[in-house]
A and B are shown apart, each in its own frame.
Chain A
Amino acid sequence: MTPDPHPGSGPLFGRRLPAVTAAAVVAALAAAMMSPPDYVQGELVRLMYVHVPAAWAAYLSYAVTLAASVGWLRRRRPGLDRLAAASAEVGVFFTGLAIALGSIWGRPTWGVWWAWDARLVTTALLFFVYLGYLALRRAIPDPVLRARRSAVFGVVAFAQVPLVHFSVLWWRTLHQPPTVLRPSDPAIDHTMLIALLLGVLAFTLLHALFVRTRCRIAAARDALDADDETRYRPVAGAAVSAPEVGSHV
């Protein structure tokens, strides 16, 4: 496969990935609808099939941002900066979605919109950390400076996340203990597990689709700027011309 010489000129969404994603989303929705209601939570448990995958996609996004940030600092490839930024944007979206869905799920289950649980607090903090990351990017007009500073913050922020999570975990916990990622048999009905895994797959594909599309938009913009630069641009000093001396008298 040869690389696209004009990264911005390809189809924005592509064909295969949207088709596969759509199929996965339909399958995940069908599985979520067909899975049995929970003994305690009843129909409300179906929120789990979107809440948990959204949280998974959020964490995946931040991991991708971290990897791309480290990659940019080593290789200085603009594509890695675009990937870091795109994944952070998508991550903020999925984090917001996970928090909103969790809140909707928590209201009838726990009786409150918001609970001071470790995982919830860490996720909310992550949301703000990456809002800060995006704000930092917006504040820097120079592309190289932006890539460098945001890559550094991408690494610093993510390195602090385990400490944040650990401290909040110590501080308080009332979230249910892990039910799926247990070394022995998961404490979840197998039909529900399949629906959940399909949800995770669908959200992972959605993440890939969103990130790829966002990267392509950014690449197209960069290509436009590069085109602009290859055309002869006047140097900064060319903007200054001789004053019209005597015309004001």
Chain B
Amino acid sequence: MSRPTTTPTPLARCLALAAKDLRVERRSGEALLVIAPFGAVALLLAPLAVGVDTPLLAELGPALYWLVVLLFGVLVTLRGSAVDGPHQRAMLALTGVGPRILLAGRTLGNVALLLGFELLLAPVAVLLYNPDLTGWPWLLPVLVLVAGGLAVLGSIADALAAGLDGRTSLGPLLTAPIAVPLLLGATGVLNAARYDRPPWPWLLLVVTVDLVAALLAAWCATHMEDVA
């Protein structure tokens, strides 16, 4: 039919794979129309368990927001609609796309979805908890960096649990304990900004976690390929 006209760059392939994931999500709505509302329910239920103590809730608000982002964000990365069956995996492999690019493409799509997830939940948390928003501009890099780190760790867990019966329960157990620095970094930045301390160290921590996770993902992708 046609010979390839250009060699697709790894980035172009990643973008094609991420675009596919986002298109599937647009049609299935699992991350933003199911998991995000579930996260919002968690934010709504927490005060019912804690008690309607407005100052306390304002204090707890940012922490609960990040906790929900961490725990429910892992579900976003493990969403069932993004699971590639054996036939789809074979098809992708036969396009000559290597395991690193497959993992990077999945991660890129996860970053976009996690950002959307965070942005959907942020106004809910502000509305319900009325937190002190001093130093809010720091939130912007933190949102991106946490989405990035969680996306990489989630993609690794997704690859590790691929094809297993308990993937949706196993994935969070594999991810959540090692994603703790993201939680501490995110809450640390906002706390530091509120109390007029430099938030840089916390931001640096999150950047380090992102970089280490990305390096680990690049390393493990080649070992993860289950075929020859």
Asked if chains A and B come from one complex, the reply is yes
Where the two chains meet, the residues of A that have a C-beta atom closer than 8 Å to any C-beta of B are 73, 125-126, 128-129, 131-132, 135-136, 139-140, 145, 148-149, 151-153, 155-157, 159-160, 163-164, 166-168, 170-171
Q: What's the least CB distance linking B78 to chain A, in Å?
A: 14
Chain B residue at minimum C-beta to C-beta distance from A125: B177
A126 to B180, CA, bound (A): 11
For the A-B complex with A148-B224, A163-B205 known, give 17 more contacts whose Cβ atoms are closer than 8 Å. A128-B176, A136-B170, A149-B224, A152-B220, A152-B224, A153-B174, A157-B174, A157-B178, A159-B212, A160-B181, A160-B209, A160-B212, A166-B205, A170-B188, A170-B202, A171-B184, A171-B188
Q: How large is the interface on B (under 10, 10 to 19, 20 to 34, 35 or more residues)?
A: 20 to 34
A128 to B178, CA, bound (A): 9
Q: What's the least CB distance linking B119 to chain A, in Å?
A: 25
B160 x A164 contact (CB < 8 A): no
A152 to B218, CA, bound (A): 12
Chain B residue at minimum C-beta to C-beta distance from A127: B177
Interface status of B156 (Cβ within 8 A of chain A): yes
Interface status of B196 (Cβ within 8 A of chain A): no
B223 x A135 contact (CB < 8 A): no
- Contact of A140 (CB < 8 Å), options: B164, B201, B220: B164
B160 x A136 contact (CB < 8 A): yes
Q: What's the least CB distance linking B194 to chain A, in Å?
A: 16
B205 x A135 contact (CB < 8 A): no
Where the two chains meet, the residues of B that have a C-beta atom closer than 8 Å to any C-beta of A are 156, 160-161, 164-166, 170, 173-174, 176-178, 180-181, 184-185, 188, 201-202, 205, 208-209, 212-213, 216, 219-220, 223-224, 226
Residues of A within 8 A of B213 (CB): 160
B205 x A170 contact (CB < 8 A): yes
A155 x B188 contact (CB < 8 A): no
Chain B residue at minimum C-beta to C-beta distance from A158: B178
A132 x B224 contact (CB < 8 A): no
B180 x A164 contact (CB < 8 A): yes
Secondary structure class of chain A's binding surface, majority of residues: helix
Between A and B, 19 residue pairs with Cβ closer than 8 Å are A125-B178, A126-B177, A129-B177, A129-B178, A132-B174, A136-B160, A139-B166, A148-B224, A148-B226, A149-B224, A156-B216, A156-B220, A159-B216, A160-B178, A163-B208, A163-B212, A164-B180, A167-B180, A168-B184
Residues of B within 8 A of A125 (CB): 177-178, 180
- Contact of B184 (CB < 8 Å), options: A126, A152, A167: A167
Chain B residue at minimum C-beta to C-beta distance from A172: B184
Chain B residue at minimum C-beta to C-beta distance from A121: B180
Secondary structure class of chain B's binding surface, majority of residues: helix
Residues of B within 8 A of A140 (CB): 164
Residues of B within 8 A of A73 (CB): 223
A139 to B177, CA, bound (A): 19
Q: A159-B216, A164-B178, A171-B184 are in contact. Are A139 and B161 (CB under 8 A)?
A: yes
A131 x B223 contact (CB < 8 A): no
Q: What's the least CB distance linking A15 to chain B, in Å?
A: 39
Residues of B within 8 A of A151 (CB): 223
Residues of A within 8 A of B165 (CB): 139
Residues of B within 8 A of A155 (CB): 216, 219-220
Residues of A within 8 A of B216 (CB): 155-156, 159-160
A128 to B216, CA, bound (A): 20
Q: A159-B216, A163-B208 are in contact. Are A139 and B181 (CB under 8 A)?
A: no
Q: What's the least CB distance linking A21 to chain B, in Å?
A: 31
A140 to B224, CA, bound (A): 14
**Which 4 residue pairs are nearest across A and B when measured between Cβ atoms?**
A167-B181, A160-B178, A132-B173, A139-B164
